[in-house]
Amino acid sequence: MFSAFAARFVLATRALCLGAMVVFADAQVAVAEESPGFHLCNKTPDVINVALGRYKDGTFVSNGWWVIAPEQCADLINRALSARFLYVLATDPFGQVILDGATPICVKPEYFEIRGDSECLTRGYLQGNSREIDTGTADGFTLSVYPDGAVTDEM
């Protein structure tokens, strides 16, 4: 389980590592509804930290962290989607989970790419629970995250 202590540790360490990944308003590229890829928009009043999981070549792979400013969007995948299901975990700056679900996802405090979604702790990672997002057969998909964990999507 992704504990509050682990979340605070993740955030404290990540703050030192992610300078180049912060999405600022002046650097944000507008996301067109029909553009290929997976885009996540932050509709909360705080910065959110996002981890993404998906199946690539039959193996579950998780990546993170994207740091997305309030009222901004980030391109998490920049090409046509090849996986129908994506898995998203988002936290606020205080380590509180904003968006989660029932699918295990391995994460670590700094930038990561992790293969596999099982035995996270025994492999030296933290485990969170991500929300499954069904993108259907769309080439492009935009997910908007709200403060209460609600989401809206556009294909």
Q: Residue 54 has what pLDDT? A: 97
Neighbour count for residue 74 (Cβ, 10 Å): 20
Distance CA 117, CA 101 (A): 14
Distance CA 107, CA 137 (A): 27
Sequence-separated (6 or more) residues with CB below 8 Å from residue 150: none
Sequence-separated (6 or more) residues with CB below 8 Å from residue 47: 22, 67, 68, 69, 70, 92, 93
Residue by residue, pLDDT tens for the chain (155 residues) are 555 545 554 544 454 344 333 333 333 333 444 589 999 999 999 999 999 999 999 999 999 999 999 999 999 999 999 999 999 999 998 888 999 999 999 999 999 999 999 999 999 999 999 999 999 999 999 999 998 878 888 76
Beta bridge partner(s), residue 99: 90
Q: Residue 43 has what pLDDT? A: 96
**For residue 65, cis peptide bond before it (omega within 30 degrees of 0):** yes
Structure tokens at 33: 């509804």
Q: Residue 34 has what pLDDT? A: 54
- DSSP assignment string, 93-135: TTS-EEE--SEEEEE-SSSEEEE-SS-TGGGT-EEEEEEEEE-
Q: Residue 154 has what pLDDT? A: 74
Look-up: residue for tokens 């990546």?
A: 63
Query: How far is residue 111 from each of residues 100, 121, 139, measured CA to CA in Å?
Result: 19, 17, 26
- In the sheet with 151-154, reading across from the earlier edge strand, the strands are 73-77, 37-42, 140-145, 151-154
Q: Residue 3 has what pLDDT? A: 55
pTM as predicted: 0.79
Q: Residue 11 belongs to what H/E stretch? A: helix 4-17
